[in-house]
Amino acid sequence: MPETTVRPRTGRLRTAAHRIDAATAPERDRALDALRALAILGVVLGHWLVTALVVDTGTLQVASPLHYLPELAPVSWAFQTLAVFFLVGGLVAARSLRTARTRGTPYRHWLTARLARLFRPVAVLLTVWAVAGAALLAGGVSPETVHTLVKLAVSPLWFLLVFAALTAATPLLARLHPAWPLALVTLVDLARFQLGAPEQLGYLNELAGWSVPYCLGAAWAGGRGRQAAHPGDRRADRRTDRRTAWALLLGGAAATAALIRWGGYPAAMVGVPGAAVSNLGPLTLAAVTFGLAQCGAALLLLGPLRRAMRRPAAWAAVALVNLFAMTVFLWHQTAMMAVSALGLLTDGTAADGPLPGLHTLPDGPGWILTRLLWLPLFALALLACWAAFHTHERPSPTRKSDPAPHPEAVKWILTNGGIR
């Protein structure tokens, strides 16, 4: 009985993967989609691993294992992948804008269409949490706890605001050398840490710092356009790309190591509650140089990713993540909190007290090990959020300039591929 049910299901999945593989345009660079999927999943897993909700004097507070186990800071390097997202975003936006101009599409129409795809699902998140916050307060939950939950739920929005601003500035950033925003970040950090300037000045780095990988992506798009116009130069261009990638990786890594070792910057590349200085709040020069190293690594991964994406199953998985990237990104913190809330209901009846890895203080290696066991439940909760809210993420059919998987092809997977 199990064998007869598993084989047809496996066959349907294989057929679905081949179907979406065949429906994908041959000229599409699937490695870009793979990089974007890796960036999104890196952020999600990173948040799930370094964010703990603990009960402190009757209220929920956010704690991080990196506060108690600073020797684990290098682990954060694997999950701070936003620079890769901005790199791909800059490339896609610059290429899309160039195509829109070729078609005669006005800039305002191009921008409106791109921002609508960003903020349509945001409105749903804000509405749900406005209602949930009011209900929690009416139910007697302390304002401190509600503030913690709502702040955590909407924390991904800072990224979207920055990304929207850079998208709007694409005509300028496509012509701007990345060295200029990098220089501004350096000057801001010098003013903050050496001249005693107020910390608020550092928030200039939120735009300037993320402009660095975005400008790199836009410059990459320009280079790809020249390759398309002069295909005979592609081999030399690939050699140049690899040299650039290695320079970014090694130079960015060396600069980051120097800033941590001699500049006094923290080693953790994610926010740590209670830390005197954070590399992300506001963005620091160390985070930007680390992002440059990541961009170099991403460029070096293009070849292996292109080969991997020839496999229909791998490409289908990447297509699914890209199609619903906004839903995954916006709701992953809510999914974690939903599991934590359900766990709190059992804490009162559990003989052993708070659930390890969920509500206990993240102050030892045991917490990390038990936290890993909770990740599948977080993923299931995120799947439930996807089922409830993914319809608000309505991407348009694929255009050659926009690497988003064709929704009808992926819809076929969802309806006929056994994923229900």
User: Which residues have a Cβ under 8 Å from the Cβ of 328 and sit 6 or more positions away?
Assistant: 40, 41, 44, 321, 382, 386
Instruction: Tell me the pLDDT band of 232, cut-offs 50, 70 and 90.
Output: very low
**Cβ(411)–Cβ(16) under 8 Å?**
no
Instruction: Tell me the pLDDT band of 375, cut-offs 50, 70 and 90.
Output: very high
Category of 187 on φ-ψ map: left (φ > 0), alpha (ψ -120 to 50) or beta: alpha
Give 398's DSSP letter. Answer: P
pLDDT in tens, 314-367: 999 999 898 889 999 999 999 999 998 888 777 654 556 678 888 889 988 999
pLDDT in tens, 256-308: 999 999 999 999 998 888 778 889 888 999 999 999 999 999 999 999 999 99
Query: In the chain, what percentage of residues exceed pLDDT 90?
Result: 55
Structure tokens of 88? 């791909």
Please give the pLDDT value at position 179: 95
**What is the C-alpha separation between 279 and 270, in angstroms, rounded?**
7
**What is the C-alpha separation between 164 and 170, in angstroms, rounded?**
10
**What is the C-alpha separation between 303 and 309, in angstroms, rounded?**
10
**Omega cis (within 30) before 407:** no
Structure tokens of 33? 């989609």
Within a 10 A sphere around the Cβ of 206, how many other Cβ atoms? Answer: 18
Least confidently predicted of 157-166, 177-186, 200-209, 351-360: 351-360
> CA 228 → CA 109, 111, 221, distances in Å?
26, 25, 11
Least confidently predicted of 17-26, 51-60, 345-354: 345-354
Please give the pLDDT value at position 410: 52
* Residue 198 reports pLDDT greater than 60: yes
User: Among residues 91, 96, 88, 131, which one has the least CA distance to residue 115?
Assistant: 96
Structure tokens of 134? 């009011």
Structure tokens of 23? 């429906």
* Residue 31 reports pLDDT greater than 80: yes
Instruction: Tell me the pLDDT band of 403, cut-offs 50, 70 and 90.
Output: very low
Q: Please give the mean pLDDT across all residues of the chain.
A: 85
Q: Is 48 exposed, middle or buried (0-12, 13-18, 19+ CB in 10 A)?
A: buried
**Cβ(252)–Cβ(231) under 8 Å?**
no
pLDDT in tens, 61-84: 889 999 999 998 998 899 989 999
* Residue 23 reports pLDDT greater than 90: no
**What is the C-alpha separation between 332 and 335, in angstroms, rounded?**
5
* Residue 404 reports pLDDT greater than 80: no
User: Which residues have a Cβ under 8 Å from the Cβ of 363 and sit 6 or more positions away?
Assistant: 65, 68, 69
**What is the C-alpha separation between 321 and 134, in angstroms, rounded?**
32
Within a 10 A sphere around the Cβ of 229, how many other Cβ atoms? Answer: 8
| 55 φ/ψ angles, rounded to the nearest 5 degrees | -85, 120
Instruction: Tell me the pLDDT band of 49, cut-offs 50, 70 and 90.
Output: very high
Q: Is 97 exposed, middle or buried (0-12, 13-18, 19+ CB in 10 A)?
A: buried
User: Among residues 295, 268, 323, which one has the least CA distance to residue 71?
Assistant: 268
User: Among residues 124, 52, 127, 74, which one has the least CA distance to residue 359?
Assistant: 52
| 61 φ/ψ angles, rounded to the nearest 5 degrees | -130, 155
CA dihedral for 388, 394, 399, 404, sign (positive or negative): negative
pLDDT in tens, 82-120: 999 999 999 999 999 999 999 999 999 999 999 988 888
CA dihedral for 338, 149, 114, 284, sign (positive or negative): negative
CA dihedral for 237, 238, 244, 248, sign (positive or negative): positive
Please give the pLDDT value at position 223: 66
**Cβ(50)–Cβ(65) under 8 Å?**
yes
Q: Which residue has the higher pLDDT, 349 or 376?
A: 376
Query: In the chain, what percentage of residues exceed pLDDT 70?
Result: 85
* Residue 409 reports pLDDT greater than 80: no
* Residue 231 reports pLDDT greater than 80: no
* Residue 15 reports pLDDT greater than 50: yes
**What is the C-alpha separation between 265 and 185, in angstroms, rounded?**
14
**What is the C-alpha separation between 239 and 231, in angstroms, rounded?**
14
